[in-house]
Amino acid sequence: MNNFNSSSSGQLVVDANFERRLKELTEAVNELLNKAESSNSTDKALQEQLQVLDSRVEKINKVISDVSNNTSVAEGIIASALENISEAEASINRSRALLDEAEKLLLNKGARALNESIQAANSSSEQAIRMAEILNEVMSFLIGLILF
């Protein structure tokens, strides 16, 4: 029994063989209890030992139950967090795709608008040059009429 994990501070001590040792302790308590009941002993010390051991087993079972419940709660929280992370990643990916599409659209429409502006400017410039040419032709014609 002395090699069973215990802590004077009441903290849980991690032991890889915990389940086996708990089973051994439970069996030892039950064996002592059976011996005491079968002998109808009135030995106070033995009865006190049995009560102490029984109390320790109950406390250990309570700790196991609490750890199990807390583990289940933690597993649920982790599963929920993983689901939230997956949803956030999917949302980020969708947003990135939309931003990429918006960038392509802006680049295409911007390039088209720039080309149209350049063509309009060139067209206006060509029209101004042509109008200047026509004016020169008219002036030359008029000068020619006046001089003859």
**Predicted local confidence at residue 2, as pLDDT:** 41
**105-109 average pLDDT score:** 82
Q: Which of 96, 99, 76, 100 is nearest to 88 (CA)?
A: 96
| Enclosing domain of residue 22 | 18-147
Residue 11 in any domain: the answer is no
Residue 108 lies in a domain: yes
Q: Kindly state whether residue 87 falls inside one of the protein's structural domains.
A: yes
Say if 86 falls within a structural domain. yes
pLDDT band at 146 (very low <50, low <70, confident <90, very high): confident
User: Would residue 12 count as lying in a domain?
Assistant: no
pLDDT, residue 15, reads: 61
Range 112-121 average pLDDT: 79
How many structural domains compose the chain? 1
Amino acid 5: pLDDT: 46
Q: How far apart are CA 98 and CA 92, in angstroms?
A: 10
* 77 against 139, higher pLDDT: 77
H-state helical runs in 17-43: 18-39
Asked whether 55 and 63 are in contact (CB, 8 A), the reply is no
- What does R_g of the chain's alpha carbons equal in angstroms? 47
